[in-house]
Amino acid sequence: MNESESNDCEYTVFAGGDSCFFSSVAFPLTAALEEELRGDDSVKKTKKLPDFLHVDSRPQADASVIIGGVVGIFMFFTSWLGKKVLDEIYEAKFRPAIKRALGEVDNNMSKEKKRSLTMLQVGVSYDDKRVFILIGIVGYTFSEILASEHMLASVHRNAVEWIENNSFAEPILLYIINHGNVNVEPIRFDSLIHADRYIRTIEFEC
């Protein structure tokens, strides 16, 4: 495999929430990404996920659920690229569409929806290491979320250093950015389903 092939990226858009959240957030983001990435042969959309990344995206009726909606971009790489992914690939190929699409969401959301916590997730999967770095940014509005979006690269760099210096069995490494604060060490899970349940029920201080 040559360097360009190892740098090729597959991605998918993940969303969890009700029909209003899908129409206001997930669909516009998907369309913006497809427009931004049209003609870029190094990035391909996929619906195939590794088994350990399967997650239930149905609306949650449990009264304990704190997060009302989750939208995410999951990127998949064959080989370990370390710090390069968010420093170069995410910022060049994904960030413009994310900021453009989500920057318009607040104007289209109802007041009721704005009172529900929301999360933007960016996930990076490496097949050869069987590890998935998941970074979530929480806020009541997407303006709040995008105000912390610049932290993604530094959090990912910290995650890469942690992976290279630690032994661990769990494939999911979770970091949560909450109004400028983030956990130093990853919260580890055996599957994305378990991580999703944790995210949806944790009580955030906002």
pLDDT tens digits, 9-37: 899 998 888 888 888 898 999 999 999 99
> Could you tell me the pLDDT band of residue 205, with boundaries at 50, 70 and 90?
low
Predicted TM-score of the model (pTM):
0.87
Read off the pLDDT of residues 123-155 as tens digits, 9 standing for 90 and up. 999 888 889 999 999 998 899 999 999 999 999
Q: Report pLDDT for 21.
A: 84
Q: What count of other Cβ atoms lies within 10 Å of the Cβ of residue 99?
A: 14
Here the tokens at position 132 are: 């998935």
Task: Report the percentage of the chain scoring pLDDT > 90.
Answer: 47
Q: Report pLDDT for 37.
A: 92
pLDDT at 2 over 80: no
Here the tokens at position 30 are: 């998907």
pLDDT at 6 over 70: no
pLDDT at 179 over 70: yes
Here the tokens at position 103 are: 């920057």
Which tops the pLDDT comparison, 152 or 80?
152
Which tops the pLDDT comparison, 111 or 156?
156
Q: Which is nearest to 192 in space by CA: 17, 51, 25, 30?
A: 51
Q: Which is nearest to 43 in space by CA: 2, 92, 83?
A: 92
> Could you tell me the pLDDT band of residue 97, with boundaries at 50, 70 and 90?
very high
Which tops the pLDDT comparison, 137 or 55?
137
Q: Report pLDDT for 114.
A: 53
Q: Report pLDDT for 111.
A: 54
Q: Which is nearest to 169 in space by CA: 183, 185, 186, 190?
A: 190
For the chain, strand residue ranges (E) read 9-16, 43-45, 67-77, 117-126, 131-139, 172-178, 181-182, 187-189
3-state secondary structure of 145: helix
Average of per-residue pLDDT across 46-57: 67
Q: Report pLDDT for 176.
A: 96
pLDDT at 197 over 60: yes
- Please give the mean pLDDT across all residues of the chain: 83
